[in-house]
Chains A and B, each alone.
Chain A
Amino acid sequence: MHSETVAGLIAGLRGRKYSAVELARALLERIQRSQPGLNAFISIEAETALAAAAEADRQLASGNAPPLAGVPIAHKDIFCATGSRTTCGSKMLANFIAPYDATVVARLRADGAVVLGKTNMDEFAMGSSNETSHFGPVRNPWDPARVPGGSSGGSAAAVAARLVPAATATDTGGSIRQPAALCGITGIKPTYGRVSRYGIVAFASSLDQAGVVARTAEDAAILLRSMAGFDERDSTSVDAEVPDYVAGLDRPLTGLRIGLLKEFFDKGLDPAVEACIRAGLEELRAQGATLREVSLPNLPLSVPTYYVVAPAECSSNLARFDGVRFGYRCDKPRDLKDLYERSRGEGFGAEVKRRIMTGTYVLSAGYYDAYYLKAQRVRQLIAADFARAFGEVDVLVSPTTPTPAFGIGAKMNDPVTMYLNDIYTIGANLAGLPAISVPCGFVEGLPVGMQIVGGHFTEQRILNVAHRYQRATDWHTRAPEAYR
């Protein structure tokens, strides 16, 4: 059961090969066993999971079951779920019980998905390695001495380790795609505004998007179909029809115009990683796609741009954590100033504090124009570069990350080294574009991911490309030895 995809499980449940309760039980057991070595979960919610599974069985028996009835999933611990401890991987929210459902959570619940627990993540989604979590690092299922990527490291590791077939995740600078690549699974970040942000603890409001990690593009399409759509509670949610992402997955790729970013295939790229991507491109070409080089001259500035905009927004978004209405409060505050400074100083980890301070600095008087405003202008340039490219090609393909998974602790000394991991993924966040990462090979036993980026609201197209690729290759079916 644990090797089954979401599509397979839906068929299995409806065919009564096993019950939702059996399925949930089996996976909960796997999760429990995996915790010491993997640490992918912060909360395992067995009781509510089994109750939901029992309800799913009733619906399945009645013949009147919603589309995801009984399908086990996990939520990144950044999604508020009623009655569920929602920590964002932080001491600040270690005991926070959300009193409401994120829209994504509510929709998946309404469609019958069974939530097994909340996955580990970099604190407040800030990180690319899942090493900043207050609840300890997550390990890469392919090699426990290495990182799974971040910030959705827990969700990605859980899916790669076959603990759940799919999990929700969020992506602000690559936090779905990068861990998907490092863990050898599929991860999609939709167009900005496609999926509601209501109930997702905000990191950088103009960049955050909710998405899904799974083992196949088809599974990602199934989940996304339930998650996407207009939400009146999110002013940045776009009121556009949600196509059936599953229909059209099989469309042939003949005539597909693929752009290769000149700026990404430069001398800095690891040759072994490049070889995997090139092989992937060959497969797409074999299916009828054409390849051409495109140039996005401002794209190399995407990392510095991001590291102005994201910290600025997060410094403001995290101001609400002040020890007054919820969250961590320091012991015996002497006065108001002390309450704020120590609750926040003690409740937040180092990376979060670093980003809050960076953000505060770039917004401060005297620096706003030079940094924040400048970065938002560069962002416009980058978006324009992408728009121009999509006038010539249908999708852009690149590596998802410059290297495969690195060692735990390897990049903790210099934040900038860590930040440069995001070099391929950040552009899509700045421009609000949909992007998917699919496994496309291995380097020294570690997975490598290939990223496909499309124009706004072309989720169908990039899922189609990913799916057709996965029909002809088997990288996405490989499982880490310890979790087969």
Chain B
Amino acid sequence: MATSNSAAAAAARDSEWETVIGLEIHAQLATRSKIFSGAATAFGAPPNAQANLVDLGYPGVLPVLNGEAVRMAVMFGLAIGARIAPRSVFARKNYFYPDLPKGYQISQYELPIVAGGHIDIVLDDGSTRRIGITRAHLEEDAGKSLHEGLPGLTGIDLNRAGTPLIEIVSEPDMRSAKEAVAYMKKVHTLVRYLGICDGNMQEGSFRCDANVSVRRRGTDKFGTRAEIKNINSFRFVEKAINFEVARQIELLEGGGKVVQETRLYDPDKGETRSMRTKEEANDYRYFPDPDLLPVELDDAYVRGVAAQLPELPDQKARRFIAQYELSGYDAQVLTASGELADYYETVVREFGGSPKLAANWVGGDLAAFLNRDGLEIGASRVGAPALAALLRRIGDNTISGKIAKDVFEAMWDSQQGADAIIEAKGLKQITDDGPIEQAIAQVMAANPSQLADYRAGKDKLFGFFVGQVMKATQGKANPARLNELLKQKLNG
């Protein structure tokens, strides 16, 4: 890539050019059966074991709509403050591809089930932006093509064909790759909060296409956009968009034109590549599917679904700030998933102490271990009650905060409770003055020159003495008491 990477060049580019991004997210809805048939949707079945006659597009079969997919779509619409269409229509999107058995995809075109709405994102600097949603609609997923191990041939697995998808189309409101990532993460969090999608990007449950264009700052007119397809991780989204923006700017600055086309991100090379074949863009010939009737949802239905909405991420974050006096940053971290938020609140409830301390532990120490072992909160090796118990032992001075970190690691590895480990390793904090005074006396005797320097005015050496006494007590001296007694003794 020839574009200059220096910060100055980037800044200059930024001041002249504006990036415009819209994202299309396809989320698989977590129904048991397919959107139009009674076949199972579970991931990982042997090829075509979960493709029934309807999914295979056999002659004579007909689609019947899964009510749960509708409910999930409505949940999503309500959660983003969108309008739920009282009447929506399924349309056929006609094109030929081997993973599309009927030769058309059942989707929604002119009358989608959800229209409007917004997603609020928080950026790294703490600022917030509201990203508009144009629409969200229901459609069926296609099957999969497999190319490996089949010389000259492609194998088609239609297990995935017919899995319900919600396609979420944002307004072109994002102005940087970072905003796009924040938006994508927020939508990811939201669909998992709602329990409508498991968000598993490796398994393809959550997929993203980015529409990217640039324009000179100050212009109203949008530039020509390129569509980058199937970017399936947050990291790739950011890289792909950044590459594409730089590519387009370089092209335009060189007097060229951006072509409206579909591009694929190549993670190995870190670049986007044109997918366009010699053939022209498809004419999808959308028309209302005559095998399906309009979906009509009345107020009672929508109210019924609204009543099922869980506390949403933003609501929960605001509550955490108010109820637990946490910072905005802490609240964001702890509400990144519903399960994590629930875990935190269980800890707070059972600990009974400082919610801030609990936040530090859940958002800090616990999170570090989860990341290290590649686990989700649901698979945490230390449960919320167990962590709460550990925090109680800090609160009641049985152990210091520092020792607690060792205990936690032991809990993680051994699955034992805090008390058992403290007992077994003899980690109880020393709170009696006797042993502490003894240790202080030992240390003072062993370090006469430092003692003299301290008494002469080198206050900084206090820390040295604290460290030495801690060492002498294997870290078990109660820090507060140690400080008090040490001060006394040192000052004579």
A and B touch in their complex, CB below 8 angstroms: yes
Residues of A within 8 A of B (CB): 79-80, 86, 88, 93, 96, 98-100, 102, 197-202, 204-206, 232-236, 312-313, 315-316, 318-322, 324-326, 336, 340, 360, 363-365, 368, 372
Chain B residues in 8 Å Cβ range of A318: 103
Select from chain A the residue with minimum beta-carbon distance to B93.
A316
- Select A233's contact among B62, B65, B101, B292, beta carbons within 8 Å: B62
- Closest Cβ of chain A to B63, distance in Å, is 7
* A93 and B94 contact, Cβ closer than 8 Å, known pairs A235-B65, A236-B293, A364-B285: no
Select from chain A the residue with minimum beta-carbon distance to B94.
A316
Chain B residues in 8 Å Cβ range of A99: 53, 58
- Select A205's contact among B156, B285, B291, beta carbons within 8 Å: B291
- Closest Cβ of chain B to A272, distance in Å, is 39
Select from chain B the residue with minimum beta-carbon distance to A327.
B59
| Residue B329 CB within 8 A of the other chain | no
CB pairs A–B below 8 angstroms (13 shown):
A80-B59, A88-B59, A99-B58, A198-B60, A201-B60, A202-B291, A236-B291, A316-B104, A319-B102, A320-B59, A325-B58, A360-B285, A363-B285
Residues of B within 8 A of A (CB): 53, 56-65, 92, 94, 96, 98, 101-104, 156, 283, 285-287, 290-293
- Closest Cβ of chain B to A360, distance in Å, is 7
Q: Is the CB of A200 within 8 A of B63?
A: no
Q: Is the CB of A197 within 8 A of B62?
A: yes
* A235 and B285 contact, Cβ closer than 8 Å, known pairs A199-B60, A316-B92: no
Q: Is the CB of B293 within 8 A of A235?
A: yes
Chain A residues in 8 Å Cβ range of B94: 315-316, 319, 363
Tally A-B pairs: CB < 8 A.
95
- Select A198's contact among B56, B61, B65, B292, beta carbons within 8 Å: B61
Q: Given the complex of chains A and B, what is the CA–CA distance between A197 and B59 in angstroms?
A: 11
Chain A residues in 8 Å Cβ range of B61: 198-199
* A93 and B60 contact, Cβ closer than 8 Å, known pairs A316-B92, A320-B103: no
Select from chain B the residue with minimum beta-carbon distance to A363.
B285
- Closest Cβ of chain B to A376, distance in Å, is 9
- Select A336's contact among B64, B65, B92, B98, beta carbons within 8 Å: B98
Q: Given the complex of chains A and B, what is the CA–CA distance between A340 and B103 in angstroms?
A: 11
Select from chain B the residue with minimum beta-carbon distance to A232.
B64
Q: Is the CB of A325 within 8 A of B101?
A: yes
Chain B residues in 8 Å Cβ range of A235: 62-65, 291-293
Select from chain B the residue with minimum beta-carbon distance to A196.
B62
Q: Is the CB of A100 within 8 A of B53?
A: yes
Chain A residues in 8 Å Cβ range of B57: 320, 325
Chain A residues in 8 Å Cβ range of B92: 316
Residue from the set B53, B60, B293 with the largest chain A CB neighbour count within 10 Å: B60
Q: Is the CB of B102 within 8 A of A320?
A: yes
Q: Given the complex of chains A and B, what is the CA–CA distance between A80 and B53 in angstroms?
A: 12
Q: Given the complex of chains A and B, what is the CA–CA distance between A230 and B96 in angstroms?
A: 33
- Closest Cβ of chain B to A329, distance in Å, is 12
Q: Given the complex of chains A and B, what is the CA–CA distance between A93 and B58 in angstroms?
A: 12
> Considering the complex of A and B, which 8 residue pairs feature the smallest CB-CB distances, nearest first?
A319-B103, A363-B285, A205-B290, A206-B290, A201-B59, A320-B57, A199-B60, A80-B60
- Closest Cβ of chain A to B51, distance in Å, is 9
Q: Is the CB of B287 within 8 A of A316?
A: yes
Chain A residues in 8 Å Cβ range of B293: 235-236
- Closest Cβ of chain B to A95, distance in Å, is 13
Q: Given the complex of chains A and B, what is the CA–CA distance between A372 and B285 in angstroms?
A: 10
- Closest Cβ of chain A to B141, distance in Å, is 17
Select from chain B the residue with minimum beta-carbon distance to A79.
B60
- Select A325's contact among B56, B96, B286, beta carbons within 8 Å: B56
Chain A residues in 8 Å Cβ range of B286: 368
Q: Given the complex of chains A and B, what is the CA–CA distance between A237 and B98 in angstroms?
A: 30
Q: Is the CB of B96 within 8 A of A340?
A: yes
Q: Given the complex of chains A and B, what is the CA–CA distance between A319 and B287 in angstroms?
A: 14
* A202 and B58 contact, Cβ closer than 8 Å, known pairs A235-B293, A313-B290, A340-B96: no
